[in-house]
Amino acid sequence: MLSNVRIIIRLGLLVLILMTFIAGLSYLSVTGLGDMRAGIKTVYEDRTIPMGQLAEIQRDYFEIRFAVLGALNSNDVATVQARETDIAVLDKISTKPGMRTHRRF
């Protein structure tokens, strides 16, 4: 069938077929990159953002804990009362919407 066709036409047809194949592979790789980007975004939103929120919770916990320890170690009544108001303010600040309202110390 192709034996009667000139060599230049056969080479041109081969190049055209290969270019079509490469274009198809390129399209598949670009769409695959889009899916991969969506997956990476999901990983970021599901894991990285909560890690920051956990660090914020831990920081609030230690602030309250240091205030409680300061009140426990103090012998002065005025200092204890000042620490109690600090603890109440810190507890209100650290209790954000969507978080559990009960705490265990």
Residue 33 lies in a domain: yes
pLDDT in tens, 40-82: 888 888 888 788 888 888 888 888 788 778 777 778 788 778 8
Q: What's the total number of domains in the chain?
A: 1
Tell whether the model's pLDDT for residue 39 goes beyond 80: yes
Q: What pLDDT, on the 0 to 100 scale, is given for residue 76?
A: 79
Residue 11 lies in a domain: yes
Q: What is the pTM of this model?
A: 0.43
> Any idea what the Cα angle at residue 101 is, between residues 91 and 80, rounded to 5°?
25
Residue 13 lies in a domain: yes
Identify the domain containing residue 79 by its residue range.
Answer: 7-94
Beta-carbon contacts of 67 under 8 Å, excluding residues fewer than 6 positions away, are 83, 86, 87, 90
